[in-house]
Structure 1
Amino acid sequence: MSDMCSPTFDELSRDLGFTCDEAGGLVELRAPWELENWTLPVLEVTIVLGALLALIYAIVRLRRHGDPTNLVLWLGATAYLFIIEPPLYFPAAFGIEEHVDTMFVHNLFMVEFLWGRLPLYIVAVYPLMATLAFEIVRMLGIFVRYGVLLGAACVGFVHHAFYEIFDHLGPQLRWWAWSEENPLSPPMFDAVPLPSVVVFAALWPMSLALCVQFFVGRHVDRGEHFSGLQLVWRTLVIGIVASIGTAVLPIPATLFGMGSDTVRGILYAAELVALSMVAVVVLIRQWLRLRADGHTGAPAYRNGFVQAYALVYLAVMAFLWISALPDFFGAVDGITVNGDPVGNLWYTGACFAVALLSVAATFTATGRSAPSTPHPDSAPAAARSS
């Protein structure tokens, strides 16, 4: 695949410690001690294990309780990945190299696909992060109380918090490298392009959640059943429409900010602020309502896996961040002594706070939320799912 090794990919890969010749083939395995540093296998195991457990939970929930929402969410996120990512890895193969150059390069992990472009953990991070955010919002009963759109906005906000903890650490630890010269990257928010902070951390999960809840979740809440064929086509539609939604939602920034990085940055930030304000109000109001209502007699929906693994993820990220702090504080002009860019510590701290509070809300809301018309089998099962 040397013909697919663009000058930008070659430059960024060398910054990460490997070359195109070392990128491997369609599938390649490496030992953990062969990686750039010890944090890479820690990250990979955490994300891949979480995604596998989320998939197992989704299958079990479908088989035992007749609820396909989790499985459709998992598969829909994966479908979205395979629609969005390949053109970014191989713009020449898709005939878009004149418009889209290499935007980023992942480092080499233990399990790699597509000639070093796609680590397994990237395949896993999409469904894992989507599951954590969606299920936190679902456990709080926000979809049932406030509807599909506001529920999806809350998913985008919660996902953003979990994702940015990881996003602002990756460049410093050489998990990936961004091309700051790419015209789609500016403006930069320290080590992270602001478009990534807004689009991939908040707007794509909002789009995915909206599609999952619209095509499947709200029907399950009303006690409806789907055949296998119905779930297959709905999952494919979710992946496609969610991809379109990711292009549509940031239109104010991409359309009106084309001629100026500053204007584009302001518009991206405004979208994120607006999304966050709406989500914060809805999340707090719903949590307070549940606390005030107490036990309503309706069966609760609890996802014990998400509650536990969200805390595992945050603990691992906190450990990795602590390990990176000496180099972070030793950085000059945002660059460490090893030549790696650092993220924004204050923003990451705020994201940690939001993520922890979101998880805590699922434990401390004493009220019980359930679908307005629970399915006779799925409602009791939801109570047992904890």
Structure 2
Amino acid sequence: MAEKELTESWFIAFRSPLDIYEKHANFLVAELAVYPMVVLTFIHAMRKGGRYRNMWIAALFHGLVSEMISYWVPEIDNFWHAQSSIMMLGRRLPLYIMSIYPLVHYVSTVAASRLKLGVFATAYAAGLADCVFYHVYDIVGIKLLWWTWHDTDPNIYERQFWVPFASTLFRLTFSAAFTLLFFGTHKLMTGKTMYQTGSFFQEATAIVLTSLLTFPAAVATHFIPLYHSLHDALGASSEVCVLAVIYLYILIVWVSDRNGPEEARPRKKGKHPWKDELTLVVLIHFLTFAGLAVFAKPESIVSTGVHEPLGPCNETMQMYNAIGQVCIYSVKSSTVNPLY
């Protein structure tokens, strides 16, 4: 990359927005749309205070932990982001991606908690809401080269609209694990309801545990039994695995809703809690990405930065999957994919 395009150190690097506009204008639009949305979620969290604020903080740190693990573990280091205005960790992590974690987790968890179904069902409702909210961004983003996926990695080889089914499963399961840990650890320590604030130590502990344990908990309790055991051990397609998880989550939420407490029943009087900052976030989100899907021109994009290394297509590497199998091989480096 030319020196004028990016001024950098390993920890943080800057790229001129004018350069992004010239080469990748739709990416700049997406980046500039994310920051106001995450600010609105932060305003909502601070206005509500207490556990809302703590949830926002936990989501931010969970995002940092998840991204660092993804770049550190070779078996899941299979995607590369386009270069945004502010990049971190050796040009691998855009700042706006860090912002997306509190944006999506916060909106989906708050929305799910308004169903008043209890900690367990709320977690799976949050997973479904997260998937709906994020999937639009996932489809538009890969089409417009906001990131690229490894061409032949078996974990992400099966796709729809070029989005790996594993990416959809990631959003479903990690959001459910995040919500379950954030509210569950609080419930165990305090015995209080989801949004009743505990002591400073209890709240700090809940934030730390949620930030650090969401990734391993999601893999151990969701990815391994619901995906890798079926996909890797039994040969089920990724599509079948993801649809099974979606149907399972819907069933859990539906059963909980049909047997929910009286306070979970809708009322015709009073103010509607959805008329707040989060309503504006949802509108900005879907209108922005719908507009980009209609008006952006992928053929004009010049996506610079870190990409999958080029090399001999027949070069392979041994890869371990999550259930310990060592018989999977993937291409270590590839020639240019015409879809990109």
Q: TM-score, normalised by structure 1?
A: 0.67
Displacement, 1:90?
3.5
Displacement, 1:155?
0.8
Does residue 29 in structure 1 map to residue 14 in structure 2?
yes
Asked whether the 8 Å contact 1:165–1:317 carries over to 2, the reply is yes
Whole-angstrom CA distance in 1 between matches of 2:146 and 2:207: 30
Q: Give the number of aligned pairs.
A: 294
- Alignment-derived partner of residue 256 in structure 1: 230
Asked whether the 8 Å contact 2:83–2:94 carries over to 1, the reply is yes
- Alignment-derived partner of residue 213 in structure 1: 183
Q: CA RMSD in A?
A: 3.3
Whole-angstrom CA distance in 1 between matches of 2:7 and 2:237: 38
- 3-state SS of the aligned residue for 2:141? coil
Q: Deviations over 1:65-84 (max 9, x none)?
A: xxx22222212212222222
Whole-angstrom CA distance in 2 between matches of 1:180 and 1:54: 35
- Structure 2 unaligned regions, length at least 5: 300-336
- 3-state SS of the aligned residue for 1:203? helix
Given the superposition, is the C-alpha separation of residues 101 and 131 from structure 1 closer, same or farther in structure 2, using an over 3 Å criterion?
closer
Letter in 2 for 1:153: Y
Q: Which of 206, 210, 213 is the matching residue for 1:241?
A: 213
- Alignment-derived partner of residue 310 in structure 1: 282
Displacement, 1:89?
1.7
Q: Deviations over 1:207-232 (max 9, x none)?
A: 11112222348966478442333221
Asked whether the 8 Å contact 2:165–2:238 carries over to 1, the reply is no
- Alignment-derived partner of residue 119 in structure 2: 148
Displacement, 1:55?
2.0
Q: Which of 90, 93, 98 is the matching residue for 2:72?
A: 90
Greater CA drift, 318-327 or 122-131: 318-327
Asked whether the 8 Å contact 2:86–2:94 carries over to 1, the reply is yes
- 3-state SS of the aligned residue for 2:140? coil
Q: Which of 172, 176, 184 is the matching residue for 1:202?
A: 172
- Alignment-derived partner of residue 156 in structure 2: 185
Q: Deviations over 1:127-183 (max 9, x none)?
A: 1001111122233xx2x3x21111111111011001000001111111000003123
Letter in 2 for 1:44: E
Asked whether the 8 Å contact 1:105–1:178 carries over to 2, the reply is yes
Asked whether the 8 Å contact 2:137–2:289 carries over to 1, the reply is yes
Whole-angstrom CA distance in 1 between matches of 2:17 and 2:232: 42
Whole-angstrom CA distance in 2 between matches of 1:181 and 1:196: 15
Given the superposition, is the C-alpha separation of residues 147 and 225 from structure 1 closer, same or farther in structure 2, using an over 3 Å criterion?
closer
- 3-state SS of the aligned residue for 1:116? coil
Asked whether the 8 Å contact 1:187–1:261 carries over to 2, the reply is no
Matches within 5 A, 1:71-82: 71-82=53-64
Matches within 5 A, 1:1-386: 24-25=8-9, 26-35=11-20, 36-62=23-49, 68-91=50-73, 97=74, 100=75, 102-139=77-114, 142=115, 144=116, 146-199=117-170, 201-216=171-186, 221=193, 224-247=196-219, 248-252=221-225, 253-259=227-233, 262-279=236-253, 290-291=265-266, 293-295=267-269, 301-302=273-274, 304-324=276-296, 339-340=338-339
Displacement, 1:257?
2.1
Task: Name whichever structure is richer in strand by fraction.
Answer: 2
Displacement, 1:186?
2.6
Asked whether the 8 Å contact 2:6–2:15 carries over to 1, the reply is no
Whole-angstrom CA distance in 1 between matches of 2:235 and 2:161: 15
Given the superposition, is the C-alpha separation of residues 282 and 225 from structure 1 closer, same or farther in structure 2, using an over 3 Å criterion?
closer
Whole-angstrom CA distance in 1 between matches of 2:254 and 2:83: 37
- Alignment-derived partner of residue 308 in structure 2: none
- Percent identity over the alignment is 18
